Structure 1
Amino acid sequence: MKVCPRPATPLPMASSPKLTLTSGKPLADPKEDHQLVGSLQYLQFTRLDIAFAVNKLSQFMHCPTDLHHQAAKQVLRYLAGTPTHGIYFSSSNSLTLHAYSDAYWVGDTLDYASTNAYIFYLGNHPISWTAKKLKGVARSSMEAEYRAVANTVADIQWICNILTELGVLLPSTPIVFCDNVGVIFLCENPVFHSRMKHIALDYHFVHGYIQDGALRVAHVNTTDQLDDALTKPLPRAQFLEL
């Protein structure tokens, strides 16, 4: 009897139930799972829509279970249903540089680490992105968001240096978009508060670039935060919108 293949899925990862290290039963032979997730890590270099799912699955590679392997296969079914998705680069694209920065506070309930993500755009084209866990535990959502902005600023300066070496002159100051009002206020406020000592390094690092006019940090509405798709699994409608 011939078994029909499972249909394609519109999501690379289901929003529920959440995958954890203890989900499912350990695989007797994890080799196939290691090969699959390892291959997906290369594919996410051109498919940012699977970046979060691949990052999440990579966290279980030391002890994959049957549910982890099923989730990896769901990514394959999603890719099978979206073979025409990709990134188009136009020669008429503008050279303005901007980024979306976001953090999902306490994204992992096992170690309480937050998930950090950013997407860099040169004009309308995404040129760099990441989705990964922040080191350490953030004591508030604002701290997690500010640390995410600091990581984004560090990488945006690296991209600026690359563009300078290539002879590309940016027509305007790079902008980092964040949906946390408290973070925006902290970036614009020249007075450093003693209660923020635990993120002092990130504060002075970001504020130094802002004072020099090398970049701006601006607010973006949560509904327009493109990074949401890189920080957590989303329901179908919201994922497709982003």
Structure 2
Amino acid sequence: MATTPKFSQHSGNKLADPSEYRSIVGSFQYLAFTRPDNSYAVNRLSQYMHSPTDQHWQAAKRVLRYLKGTPTHVVFLKRHNPLSVHAYSDADWAGDVDDYVSTNAYVTYLGHNPVSWSSKKQTEVLRSSTEAEYRSGANTASELRWMKHIAIDYHFIRTMVQDGALRVVHVSTRDQLADLLTKPLSPTVQRT
């Protein structure tokens, strides 16, 4: 997705017939299961299914062009792979211009292979970037422990760190692999 302009519910003119938009974006949702690079765009575009505009439609067509140009961008599972599990998480604090709700995301790896990922809008407005990051970190830690229930985020992460089961380190923006799941990235950003 383009980094600008930021989409809102009111950007652009409403489509007279939104059925084609809904069909295309609905199809994108299946692709997000196998294309983590597409997850953020699918998350954002899905939020406008009820009332898409021409700007949302242009963004959907941009995703189609991206997919057409990147047919070989697939998850490649290497045969000889270390059995270490690690993950990246991120949150864009108050990133939605309509309701200021954050998007949190994670990508987990088994060795060099991505095995699960998520880009999801949080359910409520958070009052600090720290809280948004804690929520994202807790969701990621929960995924790593194969838990599907909500724990008390702060204590959950703190206990895992104290037990040595989780190590929290700063990852620079340049090396933050989860960025592609929380925001559109500039075409000049090079990821390794």
Letter in 2 for 1:81: G
State the shift of 1:144 in Å: 0.8
Q: Percent identity?
A: 58
How many aligned positions are there?
190
Which of 150, 165, 190 is the equivalent residue of 1:214? 165
2:137 & 2:122 partners in 1: Cα distance?
12
SS of 1:79's equivalent? helix
The answer to whether structure 1 residue 45 and structure 2 residue 24 are counterparts is no
The answer to whether structure 1 residue 102 and structure 2 residue 90 are counterparts is yes
Match of 2:18 in 1: 30
Structure 2 unmatched runs, 5+: none
TM-score normalised by the chain length of structure 2: 0.93
State the shift of 1:216 in Å: 2.3
Which of 119, 122, 128 is the equivalent residue of 2:110? 122
1:155 & 1:89 partners in 2: Cα distance?
20
Which of 71, 83, 91 is the equivalent residue of 1:83? 71
State the shift of 1:94 in Å: 0.8
Structure 1 unmatched runs, 5+: 1-12, 162-199
Report which stretch shifted further, 23-32 or 120-129: 23-32
Contact 2:6 2:97 in 1 (8 A): no
Aligned alpha-carbon RMSD (Å): 1.7
Letter in 1 for 2:61: K
Match of 1:233 in 2: 184
Letter in 2 for 1:148: S
Letter in 2 for 1:220: V
Which of 223, 231, 237 is the equivalent residue of 2:174? 223
SS of 1:95's equivalent? coil
1:123 & 1:31 partners in 2: Cα distance?
41
Give the alignment of 1:74-223 within 5 angstroms: 74-158=62-146, 201-223=152-174
Which of 30, 46, 50 is the equivalent residue of 1:58? 46
Letter in 1 for 2:166: L
Structure of higher CA gyration radius: 1
Contact 2:78 2:112 in 1 (8 A): no
Letter in 2 for 1:241: R
State the shift of 1:213 in Å: 3.1
Runs of 4+ in 1 over 6 A off after TM superposition: none
1:201 & 1:106 partners in 2: Cα distance?
21
Higher helix share: 1
